[in-house]
A = this chain, B = another copy of it.
């Protein structure tokens, strides 16, 4: 796992943070949050908060106090113990794009299929820089909707040995995912194994489906990420400070609910904050507002003592793997490093504002992520690193290609890209003048060819298959897996 030992970039002053925190208290107390689930309302009522219809208004300090019951860091166990994840502190967890209905392979855009999803799971398994496939790198549109959670979870378990994410969108799906996790890992309540990413229906609203997910995963002690999805101008005001206030209220309201269900349960403060193109109403990604939002979100999460999920890995609004996709992706993913994010979804493959998972971009993004893992690894500065002897050897106006210091280190001394080229123009032209996206095709194909299925106990697999096939029958869509 990557541990971010570089300093944090913290542009907000203590005064600015205090202003935001006062705004959080006011919004929580005066406008409050709507919860469409009787159990949530009951829990808040029993905790002494003001419940008015489905709206909860929070006493000053209540949300912060509940957040204080959540651990500042915790471990998620993987099927392969070498892949266990620490969530919190200076650790960073990276996962690929989540949720796109469409896939783009070799320039062709079409509906995603289970076969595509399996390839993406394999690519994630072989990519060292990625820690978890999450839940849905792509919608498998050829699998019936009500059994998709079963098929996806089974594929994640079979094809990778990493931590995966449970389906949060109903209590049925949550219970199935929790059962699959127990089959693999035994009792999980006190040693969590799953992420459950729960989006808020911003502004200030949790619907019944997300609440079913939150309540189920909280009761089971799994890692609930509460993520406000804020496109400023649409689900939040057109001001970064206002969006930060709203994001904090929403995330803390969800985390407070988790703590009321199960005090001390692992939680992650989620964020996903970007701007809207006010001309077209379309989402914009990778711009200055998202980066500022990320830096500030990190500061807010650290003051709350909570692990934090950054909204933004390699985000882009671009429909193609082009210059725009490159700079927007670099800007958002890099901001997560500067801001000290603990969990970064959407770090590989995201294209077209999240409507598409692109295989080419998956390979391109993994290079970019690997670059940043190197960039955020502090350089050792000691006398040996100053290479004084190399200067004595080379002298004035010479070159270092053949210096002993160089020869000893040339293989490892610099980061090496997997897709980017340093070819000169002649060589590049002779190779077919392939742009980055075209070269990335070769890279993901190589990665996929290198895939080997991680070992899985036969009896365990049989039990998983039996469970999935039985549940599919019960859900009315029999499948053979």
| A246, A392, A413 interface centre (most CB from chain B within 10 Å) | A413
Chain A interface residue count, CB cutoff 8 Å, equals 124
One of B19, B246, B381 near A20 (C-beta < 8 A)? B381
Can you tell how many copies of this chain the complex includes?
Answer: 2
User: In the complex, are the beta carbons of A326 and B317 less than 8 A apart?
Assistant: no
A11 contacts partner chain B, Cβ-Cβ < 8 Å: yes
Q: A242-B385, A278-B411, A413-B233 known; A7 and B16 CB under 8 Å?
A: no
Q: Which residue of B lies closest to A31 (CB)?
A: B391
User: In the complex, are the beta carbons of A27 and B437 less than 8 A apart?
Assistant: no
Q: Which residue of B lies closest to A427 (CB)?
A: B280
CA distance A309 to B424 in the complex (A): 27
Within 8 A of B (CB), among A354-387: 355, 361, 364, 368, 371-372, 374-375, 377-383, 385-387
- Chain B residues whose CB sits within 8 angstroms of the CB of A287 once the complex forms: 371, 374-375, 414-415, 417
- Chain B residues whose CB sits within 8 angstroms of the CB of A329 once the complex forms: 326-327
A409 contacts partner chain B, Cβ-Cβ < 8 Å: yes
A470 contacts partner chain B, Cβ-Cβ < 8 Å: no
Q: A331-B330, A397-B203, A425-B109 known; A11 and B19 CB under 8 Å?
A: no
A325 contacts partner chain B, Cβ-Cβ < 8 Å: yes
Nearest chain B CB to A177's CB is how many angstroms away? 27
Encode contact with B along A9-49: 1 for CB under 8 Å, 0 otherwise.
11110011001100100110011011000000000000000
- Chain B residues whose CB sits within 8 angstroms of the CB of A7 once the complex forms: 9-11
- Chain B residues whose CB sits within 8 angstroms of the CB of A388 once the complex forms: 23, 26-27, 30, 242
CA distance A397 to B109 in the complex (A): 32
One of B33, B397, B435 near A34 (C-beta < 8 A)? B397
A396 contacts partner chain B, Cβ-Cβ < 8 Å: yes
A105 contacts partner chain B, Cβ-Cβ < 8 Å: no
Q: Which residue of B lies closest to A379 (CB)?
A: B240
Q: Which residue of B lies closest to A200 (CB)?
A: B397
| A361, A391, A415, A424 interface centre (most CB from chain B within 10 Å) | A391
User: In the complex, are the beta carbons of B280 and A406 less than 8 A apart?
Assistant: no
A126 contacts partner chain B, Cβ-Cβ < 8 Å: no
A289 contacts partner chain B, Cβ-Cβ < 8 Å: yes
User: In the complex, are the beta carbons of B239 and A387 less than 8 A apart?
Assistant: yes
Nearest chain B CB to A296's CB is how many angstroms away? 8
Q: A284-B414, A322-B435, A334-B334 known; A317 and B421 CB under 8 Å?
A: yes
A255 contacts partner chain B, Cβ-Cβ < 8 Å: no
Nearest chain B CB to A44's CB is how many angstroms away? 15
Q: A381-B241, A401-B234 known; A436 and B396 CB under 8 Å?
A: no
A403 contacts partner chain B, Cβ-Cβ < 8 Å: yes
A89 contacts partner chain B, Cβ-Cβ < 8 Å: no
CA distance A425 to B100 in the complex (A): 14
- Chain B residues whose CB sits within 8 angstroms of the CB of A383 once the complex forms: 19, 23
- Chain B residues whose CB sits within 8 angstroms of the CB of A421 once the complex forms: 317-319, 324
User: In the complex, are the beta carbons of B324 and A324 less than 8 A apart?
Assistant: no
User: In the complex, are the beta carbons of A238 and B406 less than 8 A apart?
Assistant: yes
User: In the complex, are the beta carbons of B237 and A391 less than 8 A apart?
Assistant: yes
Q: Which residue of B lies closest to A107 (CB)?
A: B433
Within 8 A of B (CB), among A399-457: 399-401, 403, 405-406, 409-411, 413-417, 419-425, 428, 433, 435-437, 440
Nearest chain B CB to A325's CB is how many angstroms away? 6
Encode contact with B along A222-252: 1 for CB under 8 Å, 0 otherwise.
0000000000111111111110011000000
> What are 8 A-B pairs with beta-carbon distances under 8 A?
A31-B392, A232-B413, A234-B401, A235-B399, A238-B410, A242-B385, A287-B374, A296-B379
Q: Other than the known A109-B425, A235-B400, what 4 A-B pairs have Cβ atoms closer than 8 Å?
A: A237-B391, A296-B379, A318-B421, A331-B371
